[in-house]
Amino acid sequence: MVKLPPLSLYIHIPWCVQKCPYCDFNSHALKGEVPHDDYVQHLLRDLAADAAYAQGRDVQTIFIGGGTPSLLSGPAMQALLDGVRARLSVAADVEITMEANPGTVEANRFTDYQRAGVNRISIGVQSFSAPKLQRLGRIHGPEEAKRSARLAAGLGLRSFNLDLMHGLPDQTLEEAREDLRQAIALNPPHLSWYQLTIEPNTLFGSRPPILPDDDALWDIFEQGHRLLAAAGYQQYETSAWAKPGFQCEHNLNYWRFGDYLGIGCGAHGKITFPEGRILRTTKTRHPRGYMQGRYLESQREVADADRPFEFFMNRFRLLEAAPRREFTDFTGLDEAVIRPQLDEAIARGYLNESARHWQITERGKLFLNDLLERFLAE
């Protein structure tokens, strides 16, 4: 028997106004109008098929990602979240996050989203430089980004996040610092600040731009980290900083190896069962197939041999200490099966171990891939 971890729900909205050249998420440029009502009905049918996986647990967090969820109308968002509450038990203090693009943000619509239950908004700013935004294929400008952040601040939400990227094409250290300074001036409770990476099957993948070299990237990260710390932000995950008490609960559940239902085009889910099975699900990627009622694309059981790697790949993204008991609680495996790998990681200075916790070290963060590879199945 294993302990069932906390449960979250991820909902995917697949459409964007246009596809960004760096994006490898499951998003599709909009042709015509968003099929608001039809898509919501398919989402709720998809959820009904998965609802038994909750196994009596309350949903602690909901994350509506994309694509651009802020293309969904206020009434459609209301119908969606009402439908979720009708099919699942939702915690009274549930965190409900919705991603938003500043170019699709309208004051009235934000108020509608809040009325539907959204209490946290994540705004995809990426940069406050007009030339950089244009290079990234974004549909908004710096002033729209600031306006949407002020709008989110004025709604009295539980929290809001600004997404910011660094290591952009031809970006200087001062440009990266200026982006951060402008973000900090808007006083978001949470800041995601992550490095642009070139992914295959993207426009940037086929025609790579010139990015800052490793030394420049290190300087950007080091000085950016100082700016954020001086402004009262604490880093708690590889690319996430928050004011005390404003960490993203949904993402924490992912990294702590929690469970989540995934509904919508291309959404992933992870479900644990009392007898110890762990099931991973993937939904149909393309809206055409999904909206013909073919929701489940694939599912697979996580083999015992793969569980250590999957557990630590998530756990070691967080900077907090990892409770040792959770390895057995959430994987169903005895710690003895990974003792040799742990001892080697400790000997190399990647981990510290106490009676109750494992703590990744600064060296471990620097050599994270090497640390994780030790837990790969033979």
Amino acid letter for position 15: W
What pLDDT, on a 0 to 100 scale, did the predictor assign at position 378?
79
Quote the pLDDT of residue 21: 76
Vertex 127 angle, CA 124 and 131, to 5°: 125
Per-residue model confidence as pLDDT tens digits over 318-351: 999 999 999 999 999 999 999 999 999 999 999 9
- Domains and their CATH numbers in the chain: 7-253 (3.80.30.20), 322-378 (no CATH)
pLDDT of residue 29: 82
* Orientation angle between helical segments 324-331 and 307-315, nearest 10 degrees: 130
Could you read off the pLDDT of 30-39 as tens digits, one per residue? 888 889 999 9
For the whole model, what pTM was predicted? Answer: 0.96
- What percent of the residues of the chain are helix, what percent strand, and what percent coil, each to the nearest 5? 40, 25, 35
Q: In the chain, which stretches have pLDDT less than 70?
A: none
> What one-letter code names the amino acid at 237?
E
Backbone angles phi, psi at 108, to 5 degrees: -65, -40
pLDDT at 80: 98
- Name the burial class of residue 38, with classes exposed (0-12), middle (13-18) and buried (19+) by CB atoms within 10 angstroms of its CB: exposed
